[in-house]
Every structure is written in C-alpha cells, then in structure tokens.
Structure 1
Amino acid sequence: MKAVHDRVGETGSQDGILEALADPARLRAMTFSELVGASEHIRSFLVDRVCRSGGHLGPNLGVVELTIALHRVFDSPRDRILFDTGHQAYVHKLLTGRWQAFDHLRQAGGLSGYPSQAESVHDVIENSHASTALSYAHGLARAYALQASLDRAVAVVVGDGAMTGGMCWEALNNIGATDQPVVIVLNDNGRSYAPTNGAFARHLAALRGTGVDGNSVPCEPGYQKRSLFEAMGITYLGPVDGHDVRAVEEALRHARRLRRPTLVHCVTVKGNGYAPAVADDKDCLHAVGVVDPATGMPTAAGKNTWTDVFSQEITAIGAERSDIVCLTASMLHPVGLAPFARAFPDRVLDVGIAEQHAVTSAAGLALGGLHPVVAVYATFLNRAFDQVLMDVALHRLPVTFVLDRAGVTGPDGASHHGMWDLSALSAVPGLRVAAPRDAIRLKELLREAVNVTGGPTAVRFPKAAAGSELAALQRRGHTDILAGTGRGDVLLVGIGPMAAQCLEAAQTLEAEGISTTVADPRWVIPADPALLELIGRHHVVITVEDGNRIGGAGSMLTQAATDAGITTPVHNLGLPRRFLPHAARDELLNRHGFRPDALAYAAHQALAGVGPYHHQPDQPAAHRLWQP
C-alpha cells in the first residue's frame, strides 16, 4: 500500500487513496502490484461502511478487481459500463468519486444502493431487476453505430445468476446476430442469492472445469469445451481469474480490440477477502443489515418478521397437505422457503431469476393436480403480469402468490418498493387478494388462500416486523370490524398493516366526538359485499393502503360502491403515482401521510366536504403530503 500512498502524495489517508482510485489517469498509471494493495483497501472500506448501514456486501467484495480492470480499459462515461444487477456497482461508485457518500449509504437523501442517474453521469441505468442490461447494451451499441460514434464502447457486467433470466437470452440471440462491439463480462461466482442451479450453471461449471460446488470434475467422453456463446456467434474469452486484475484487464483489452460481440468469462468468489462472507454458505452475506464487521452477525436481535411468520405457516401447511408445492425465483432464503425446502426437498422448485417461467410452471403444476405457492417479492411479480393474467387466471387455476416486501420496502429504493401489486392485480379477473393486518391473520389468510380451488389467490405483506395482534370485535362477511359500532360519521378502511394506523386515528376522532368505525376487509380484492353495506351506514369513508392510490384496492372499492348505487363519498388514500426514493420504511410512510394524525386530519377534511386532498398554505407539512 505504501507505493499507492506515495503516488497520490498522501501519508496514507483513506480519502487520499480513494481520491487516487477515482482519478482515471492515476488509476491507469498504477502498477499491478499497487492495484493489489488498492483492492485490499477497497475491501476494507466496503466492509466498514456496509456493516454500518446495511447493503449488498458479498456481491461487491467479489467484483473489486474486475471493476478496477473495467475502469482502466474503458473510459466512463463516454464508454458505457452497465451492471446486471445493479447491486454489484458499489466499487464502480468508489471509482467514480462517491466514497464520501458511503457514510449515508441507502439512507434518506444519501447514496443509493443501486446505480442512480441522479448521482453520477457514470450511472447509465437504474436497474435492480435482473437480466435487463444486455438488452440495454444491445440498444446502446446500435444507437452509437447509427450515429457513427464508433469510438464509444459498451461493456456490461452480468452476474451468472442474472443469466438464468429469459431476457438475457432474448438479448444474446440478437447480439450474436450482429457485429456490434458489445463486451459482456460474465461474473461467474456460481451464485445469485444462493448457489445457481439448472442446465446453464452446469455449462459454466464445465467451462471452468469444476462442478457447481467448485470441485474439479472430468469432462464427459467426447465433450468439447466449446461454449454456448460461441454457438450463438459471440466470441468467448476465458475462463479468467476474476480476482487477478492483470488477467482481467488483458482479456478486456483483447475483447475491445476485436470490435465485435465478445464475452469475457470471469470466475470470482462472492464475498472474496472477507472470511464471514466466504464462510456463509446460505448467501455469502449477500444483503446485510447493520452487522458486526468482525463476525458479519447482526448487532441487535431481530424481531419476528412477516416473512418469518409465512415461513413457519407454509411449512406447517406442507406437513398437512402433500399437494402443496412451492416455487421461488432464486430467493429461497429471502422469501422464507428454506425451512419448507429442508422438510420437503422434492416439493420446492427454484427456477432461477425467471419469474415468468415460475408463474407458468406453477400453472402447469396446478393443471397436474397440485396447489402451487409462488413466493416472490411484490416488485418482481410485475415482471410476470402477463403470465398471471393469461396463463393462470384465464385458466382459473388454483395458484397462490405470496407477495413479500409489498408496499414501501425502504432502503432499496424505487425499483424495490412493492407498491404496484394491488393496482396490477385488481385488473385480473377472478383473482382474490388478501392483505393480513397482523401475524395471526397472515396464518389465517394463507390457509384460506391455499383452500381456494376455483382460481388464483394472492397474499401480500410488507418488509417489517409483524407487530402485535389487532383483535376484531366482530366479522361481517369477510370483513373484520376492529373499532366502532358499524355505523356513524367516519369509516376507516385499513388495508393490511395500515389497520394499526387507522385504529390510532379512530381514537383521536372519537375523543373529538366523531363516531368512527375501523374495518379490515382481509380479502381486499374484490370488494366484499359486507363492506359495501358498512359504507352505506357512514357519512364518509376513507380507505388507506400502502400501495398506489390509483387503481388499487381503494379504487376498486369506490367503483363497487358506485356500481351498487351507494352515494356515500369514498376517499382513497395511498402512495402517489411516482417513483419513491430510498429511505427507512416508517420514514417514507410518515412522509406520505400515513401517520395517525394525518389520517384524522383527512377525516376532518372529508367531513367538511372539501376532500382529504385540499390544503391551505399554512397547513402542517405532513398534511400537505395528501395531495395526489
């Protein structure tokens, strides 16, 4: 490291080293021996900062040398460097001058955990949904060719997990048929969240001469080590040690000189250089919260989450019913299916990062007489909407979708907020959607969902602690009444966990002499006829959901009331029609008007006949956020 310090004219200060690495001229002037020390420094920096704030640690520790080589060969931002997925771009951020912002990584107003166009001209696409970057690269290269910008290169780093998604192969099919100079850097660490499986994983293992477990394996008799990429018209270079800057750089320079579609196969180790990550066979500390950097373990005991509750209940249901089979898109542990997989290994399908295939495969399982449960982040179900609509719902198949991370998710930002599911699923004929308000209702509604035989169901819940039980006073139809008499001035309809805020708001309103009922529909799509009766017994109704205000469960309830000839005004409160930034979940909910006092204020405005979106310039800021 001393040589690096001397070169930047510093005494070894952290900022001095990072400043040198972020200067393209200085970075390219470093010797390979100096770059070894620089790589060690970057790893130490990442472990320190990410353990403080949480973030994607393992993936970034694995691409340190690879990213350094990229920035020595390609001149960003004139040359375009893309990442798929974007959670492996932390080193790229360091090499483009953003090291100081890591003190506020994934915090409100701070550095995004993914590439961000607002942060830097070096960030081209804001992607965290996998398997997309090759299509971007194909389009960029074509655009530069049409504009005669022949000196501009396009390089894309694609994780081997992302290569399990269908869009990658659609893009490769087109890239291989052109002479466009796209340089594909395949970051092959044998994992996405967990070890990558499937035929493509076996192919990569054969190319690197190892099994998927890393052990050396002999080739089958007559096997020729020709890559699938070459068969598609893409030049293949490798495999290359992805932790050897010199080897990676030489391969990249060769690829660039070829001026045609070329793939550089880099073999890396997820979490490389950090013993706790390498030893973690579950996910190599893929994404961490605040952890002890010495051990990689959480610094505080975690609370029972919604995912934990689902995990326990689906395993219990699996023990009772042999027809239950679960599917995941490369997220066995994050969605809570690992215990089910240990108990029933033959009844879990991890299809890779391929949500479309997961849904239609589930349709096939249902056609075969089983009841599939597709567990996926709510944001990633967006990718399979056509399959939900045409492959499952059109055939009225009993498939249950479990939507983890629904609503506001927090520090992962715009692409990970699960705020579109209710708007999208409300358009699907025959699909029923449940939103539990507490852990007991999650267990209850999950069992009801898997008992449905005439069509698809979905159960949604947030990324958060499950919270306390919210007992019902009575049930009418599918709807639970949590407070009030079922008639009066205001009806607050809380969607899922929003019921807790509605109960607090009701206490405030009751103290002010405003009779208030709080109802939880439980099954929020379609509208419960019993809930429509409740609407007719109140002066105003306010629905509250942590999803898009437009087209969500509240909108469906409003339409159902109108169709039934009910004249009671129904006001829908929810998230605005915009992409929300990264911040803590509670912080974002409060910022967008989900505090109990803001709900009470909205009720006052509705009763006054001005609607909860009206505001005066002197209103408190929290109330102004009710604007659409």
Structure 2
Amino acid sequence: MEKSILNNIDSPLDLRKLSRKKLPVLAKELRKFIIDIVATKEGHLGASLGVVELTIALHYAFNTPDDLLVWDVGHQAYGHKILTGRRDIFDTNRQLHGLSGFPKRSESEYDTFGVGHSSTSISAALGMAIASNLKGEYSKQHIAVVGDASIASGMAFEGLNHAGVSKANLLVILNDNAIGIDPSVGALKQYLTKAKVGHKPQQDNIIEALNFNYFGPVDGHDIEGLLKAFEELKKIQGPKFLHVITTKGKGLQKAEEDQVKYHAPGKFVADTGELLPSISAGLPLKYQDVFGLTLVDLARKNEKIIGITPAMPTGSSLKYMMDAFPERAFDVGIAEQHAVTLSAGMATQGFIVYCAIYSTFLQRAYDQVIHDVAIQNLPVIFCLDRAGLVGEDGATHHGIFDIAYLRCVPNLIIAAPRDEVELRNLLYTAQIDLKHPIAIRYPRGRGVRLDWKQEFKELEIGKGELLLEGTEVAVISLGTIAENVKLAIASIEAKDKVAHYDAGFVKPLDEALLHELFSKFKKVITVEEGAISGGFGSAILEFAAKHNYSSKIKCLGIPDQFIEQGNMKELYEIVKLDVTSIAHTINVFLK
C-alpha cells in the first residue's frame, strides 16, 4: 500500500520538502480528504475543491507564514487549513469549540486575516504590503486570493484602485470559476469570459489600465504551470495580477455538474457525491421559501413588484420570482451597497421593491440604508433573511445586529413576524400604499406551521398582540423566538401567572399595548434573537424610563460578545434562549 503524502504534511515546511512530481499526487489526496470529511460533517465543498492545486502551489512557492496569504470568501480555504497544521482536527470544522469554517487569526498564524464576507482580501493584503514597506521589509510577498465572484464587489475595485498607484508588493490572484454561490452575473463576468476563451485583452485590459502587471489566464489545476507563474511573479516588484481559471467542485463529478447545490451540499456519499436524503417530507417550509413563494403570489397580482438580491437568489429563494418573472427580478452580484441604492432608485419611480438580503450582509450597506433610503423616506421593503443565530457559519454570519443598527434610523419601520403566516401577511401589507421603508426580519431554517399558505390579511403597522393571559409576569417576545417562549411557559408549574405578548414590531412600538402592560405588571421579561445592547429590550427599557414606569425588567437576547459556530441547539443554550433557560428565568422572576 502506497504511503500517504498528506499524513506527513504538518506545515508548509513539510510541503516544500516534496519533489514537484509528488505534488499532483498530494492534490488527489487532499481533494479526497476534503470530500471524505465534508460528506459526513457537512460544510462548504465546491469552492475548496476548486482551489486544491492553487492552494498547494501557493504554500509551495511562497514562504508562508512570513509571506502573507489572504483568502477572500473564506470557504475556499479548507485545503489551506489542512496543509497548515490542522489536518488532524479538520473533522471539527464548523462545530462548537472546533475549527471555524473560515480563516481566523486567533486559530493559526497562517490565517493572516479573518474572512467570512467577500471582497476584503485586496484591501487587507494591500494594507499589509504598505506596512511591510514602512518597516523596510521589501522582499516580503503579499498575496490576495479573490474567488467566488468577489472581484465584482465595489470594495474589491476600491482596493485595486488604490493598489495601482502604490509601490506595494502585492499579488492579486483571481480565482475565476464563473460562479459564487449562484452563477456570476454582470459585464465584468462577460469580460473575464472573453479573456479565458482566448480573446487576448490588449488595449482594453481593465487590470492593466489600473497599473497592474497582468498575467494569464492560466490553468488553476496545473500545479507546474502555477509554480512557473509564481516564480516569475516573485521577481516583479509592485502590484501584479494573475488570472487563474478553475472549476468549482473539481474532482467530484456531481459537484462539477451542479455547482450551486454542491456549494454546501449537506451530507452525501463520498465516493459518488450522491446526496443523502434529507428528512423534509411533512415538515414546515423554510422561511426563505415562504418569502420566495409569497413574493411570486404577490407579483402575479401586482406588476409593480420588483425583487432584488445581491448574489443570493438561491439562498434567499428569490430564484422563484426570477423563474416566474425574470424581467422583474434582479441578481446584482456581490454588491450590497448597489442593491440598496438600486432599490431606492426604482422606488422613486413608483415601483414596489423587495430587497432580499441576509441580515449580516446588510451591514455592508449601512450608509445606503440611511443616506439613500431613509433620509428620502423611500418605501423600500428590506427582507432580512438569516436574522438571528445561523449555526455553523459562526460569528461572521450570525444576523444579530440588525435590530440595534436599524432601530436608530428615522423613518424606518422594523418588523419581526413570529411565524410564517405573519411573515406572509407582512409581505402582503408592505405593498399596500407603504409610506416608509420597512425591514422585515426572519430566521434561517424551517418554520413551525404547515398551514402557512392562508388567505392574505392586512396587518396594522406597529401593532402587537396578547397571546396568553397571565397575572404576575409579562413576557414580551419579538419574532420567531416566540415559539421557545410559548414552550417555556407551558413547561412551568405556575403558567397561569405568566402573560405572553408578541411585539410584532420594534419600530414603531405598540405604545397603547405597552402602557396597558406596564400598568398591570411589575415584572417584565423581553426576549429577542438579537444583540441585547441597543436592541428590542433596550427599546422597552427606554419606553419604561420615558413614562416613569418602575417595573422590574429583564432583557434576554444575545450577550455583548461574538458567538462562535455550533449547531442551533448548542448556541441557544449558550445564549440562554433555549426553552429550559427561558423557563428558568421566568421561574426566578416569579419567586
């Protein structure tokens, strides 16, 4: 039996001791190792399979970690983690207390920059390169690997624009696989496609116009070719750009054939790639699908409805509208700022725009929300998917800040439906003569109702609801965490003493309901799946202080810390939003 090469690679130092002819063999082993682990443990698959040879060549040719390597969209970096001392614990990837699914500075000296969101690598690596010049370290290399369509983001161009007039020793590698999570879109994609099929960009080379030395395209699966390119590039000072062509999902036929599904496929058979059946029959729909299907229903009856998403048509389920009404649904690429201002522009012309964007990604367009939408009071409908904890993707992806960062913005309505029926009715209500922008937040994962597709009902903006009568303690929940609150109350002995209110809205608050509540209860608990600091509970505290209520108030939510990866059950327990913890808090309050 042939001896494994990968099992003897504990760092890039070991890698560099190999002869070049053994590197393709190592690539096969590394690819199989990734497939075998992800098949059972789940995670991001296609992106890392596509850069196996590139990863090996980078660590072989450059003196990492002294040479600084920055990955963009960190789900490309599984091979990087395995080759940099984390092979034996890679099976803990994305698990509680295990490896992060993305590069993370506190995890390894080889992870030079934390990356979970896209298009940050050029700016970060440029910052490192300029710092090296200031320290007199002129021979140090700085490499940014931009992949999964991240080059189309505005921030990537900001970095390129600055780098082109610097003397920084920066190498930008474009991992061009023509797909992010969904297929890439836009004029830049068309330009790059021309480049890779043999149209040699000459005078119109956009990269050379930005003062970069442009090389490529080269085959990203040819290790020898990559090493030759790196040897040449190391001799050239200043900003340079290498265009590398790769296949997302390389080495697993099904992942190559269905690159969208195999971006993060769940569990599958390692040898064949065959997906294992998920138990979904008879279960409630995912919230994203309730959004996507409801939008199609609404768009059929209202031709002014528009759907917009930044590179997440599958993840947000806007794909349903893109299929049904392709002329009225737009994937604008990884460009959250553009998505928000595009929505604002269309809203000025009388269109009803649903901008579907993950809570964590709306952070990237905060100025546009304020400057382009809220100040002008344009009735854009922000559909904030993945609001709350998201599980194994960890700190970079939890949607826990949106309540706090949106609550302070004038003119903006913030709603959080407690279930799928409420979400559907909010989406319906938002297209009826809306006077202000609105953010509707809903979580990742499945809902709680099979009967979600009910007749539409117009909701009153800013109206809460009493769900359960009680005598001593009032619990006010916001959003889908209402289900855990309901189960918690049902589990305690003195359940008749606990009232349960659904706030429905963070802004405007239902002040009539709150006056009634504070007049009746001396003990109040708020529960939200968002940051406690500045969140919904803070809004209730402010209301109580403003109106001189003396009730004792306890706020439950996400504490003032970044929550790492883990499954949802584990994370709820950590932040004490699980049923048992909520019940315990209620019992303590009752005593």
Q: Report the TM-score, using the length of structure 1 for normalisation.
A: 0.89
Counterpart residue identity of residue 506, structure 2 = V
The alignment partner of 2:48 has SS state of helix
Return the alpha-carbon distance in structure 2 between the equivalents of residues 470 and 58 of structure 1. 36
- The aligned runs of 1:311-460 (5 Å cut-off) are 311-460=292-441
How many residue pairs were aligned? 579
Q: Could you list the per-position Cα deviations for residues 370-420 of structure 1 after superposition, in whole angstroms to 9, with x for gaps in the alignment?
A: 011111111000111111111101111111111111111010010000000
Q: Could you list the per-position Cα deviations for residues 461-494 of structure 1 after superposition, in whole angstroms to 9, with x for gaps in the alignment?
A: 11121123799xxx99722222115xx2111111
Q: Quick one: which of 106, 111, 117 aligns to 2:99?
A: 111
Residues 135, 171 of structure 1: 8 Å contact kept: yes
Residues 522, 550 of structure 2: 8 Å contact kept: no
Q: Indicate how the Cα distance of structure 1 residues 247 and 225 shifts in structure 2: closer, same or farther if over 3 A, else same.
A: farther
2:518 matched to 1:535? yes
The alignment partner of 1:322 has SS state of coil
Return the alpha-carbon distance in structure 1 between the equivalents of residues 495 and 193 of structure 2. 70
The alignment partner of 1:536 has SS state of helix
Partner residue, 1:613: none
Partner residue, 1:522: 504
Return the alpha-carbon distance in structure 2 between the equivalents of residues 23 and 594 of structure 1. 40
The alignment partner of 1:107 has SS state of coil
Return the alpha-carbon distance in structure 1 between the equivalents of residues 10 and 232 of structure 2. 24
Q: Quick one: which of 72, 76, 96 aligns to 2:60?
A: 72
Partner residue, 1:482: 467
2:273 matched to 1:288? no
- The aligned runs of 1:2-41 (5 Å cut-off) are 12=2, 16-41=4-29
2:583 matched to 1:600? yes
Partner residue, 2:180: 192
Partner residue, 1:503: 486
2:570 matched to 1:587? yes
Q: Could you list the per-position Cα deviations for residues 527-583 of structure 1 after superposition, in whole angstroms to 9, with x for gaps in the alignment?
A: 112331223221211110110001111211221232233332332111011111100
Partner residue, 1:260: 238
Return the alpha-carbon distance in structure 1 between the equivalents of residues 51 and 580 of structure 2. 47
CA deviation after TM superposition for structure 1 residue 93, in Å: 0.7
Q: Quick one: which of 201, 217, 222 aligns to 1:239?
A: 217
Counterpart residue identity of residue 532, structure 2 = R
Q: Could you list the per-position Cα deviations for residues 208-266 of structure 1 after superposition, in whole angstroms to 9, with x for gaps in the alignment?
A: 126xxxxxxx68xxx74642111110000100000000111111121111021111110
Partner residue, 1:102: 90
Counterpart residue identity of residue 247, structure 1 = G
Q: Considering only aligned residues, what root-mean-square deviation do their CA atoms show, in Å?
A: 2.0
Partner residue, 1:464: 445
Identical pairs, percent: 36
Partner residue, 2:455: none
Residues 490, 514 of structure 1: 8 Å contact kept: no
Return the alpha-carbon distance in structure 2 between the equivalents of residues 27 and 18 of structure 1. 9
Residues 449, 459 of structure 1: 8 Å contact kept: no
Return the alpha-carbon distance in structure 2 between the equivalents of residues 349 and 535 of structure 1. 46
The alignment partner of 2:522 has SS state of strand
Partner residue, 2:456: none
Residues 60, 88 of structure 1: 8 Å contact kept: yes
Counterpart residue identity of residue 595, structure 1 = D
Partner residue, 2:153: 165
Partner residue, 1:124: 112
2:132 matched to 1:144? yes
Partner residue, 1:550: 533
Return the alpha-carbon distance in structure 1 between the equivalents of residues 327 and 71 of structure 2. 34
Q: Report the TM-score, using the length of structure 2 for normalisation.
A: 0.94
Counterpart residue identity of residue 301, structure 1 = I
Residues 495, 521 of structure 1: 8 Å contact kept: yes
Return the alpha-carbon distance in structure 2 between the equivalents of residues 115 and 578 of structure 1. 19
Return the alpha-carbon distance in structure 2 between the equivalents of residues 298 and 580 of structure 1. 30
Counterpart residue identity of residue 279, structure 1 = E
Counterpart residue identity of residue 295, structure 2 = I
Q: Could you list the per-position Cα deviations for residues 263-314 of structure 1 after superposition, in whole angstroms to 9, with x for gaps in the alignment?
A: 1110111111111111115x15112222333234243233421112111111
CA deviation after TM superposition for structure 1 residue 451, in Å: 2.6
Q: Could you list the per-position Cα deviations for residues 138-190 of structure 1 after superposition, in whole angstroms to 9, with x for gaps in the alignment?
A: 11001111011123211110015111111111111110001211011110011
Partner residue, 2:550: 567
Return the alpha-carbon distance in structure 2 between the equivalents of residues 20 and 604 of structure 1. 55
Return the alpha-carbon distance in structure 1 between the equivalents of residues 357 and 390 of structure 2. 14
Residues 389, 428 of structure 1: 8 Å contact kept: yes
2:167 matched to 1:179? yes
Residues 181, 256 of structure 1: 8 Å contact kept: no
The alignment partner of 2:499 has SS state of strand
Return the alpha-carbon distance in structure 1 between the equivalents of residues 365 and 13 of structure 2. 45
Partner residue, 1:300: 278
Return the alpha-carbon distance in structure 2 between the equivalents of residues 596 and 25 of structure 1. 49
Q: Which moved more, 1:475-484 or 1:136-145?
A: 475-484
CA deviation after TM superposition for structure 1 residue 600, in Å: 2.9
The alignment partner of 2:585 has SS state of helix
Q: Structure 1: any 5+ residue segments left out of the alignment? A: 1-10, 211-217, 609-628
Counterpart residue identity of residue 291, structure 1 = F
Q: Structure 2: any 5+ residue segments left out of the alignment? A: 453-458
The alignment partner of 2:91 has SS state of helix
Return the alpha-carbon distance in structure 1 between the equivalents of residues 482 and 12 of structure 2. 53
Residues 437, 470 of structure 1: 8 Å contact kept: no
Return the alpha-carbon distance in structure 2 between the equivalents of residues 529 and 292 of structure 1. 55
CA deviation after TM superposition for structure 1 residue 602, in Å: 2.0
Residues 306, 461 of structure 1: 8 Å contact kept: yes
Q: Indicate how the Cα distance of structure 1 residues 568 and 359 shifts in structure 2: closer, same or farther if over 3 A, else same.
A: same
Q: Which moved more, 1:133-142 or 1:201-210?
A: 201-210
Residues 360, 391 of structure 1: 8 Å contact kept: yes
Partner residue, 1:6: none
Counterpart residue identity of residue 484, structure 1 = E
Q: Indicate how the Cα distance of structure 1 residues 536 and 296 shifts in structure 2: closer, same or farther if over 3 A, else same.
A: farther
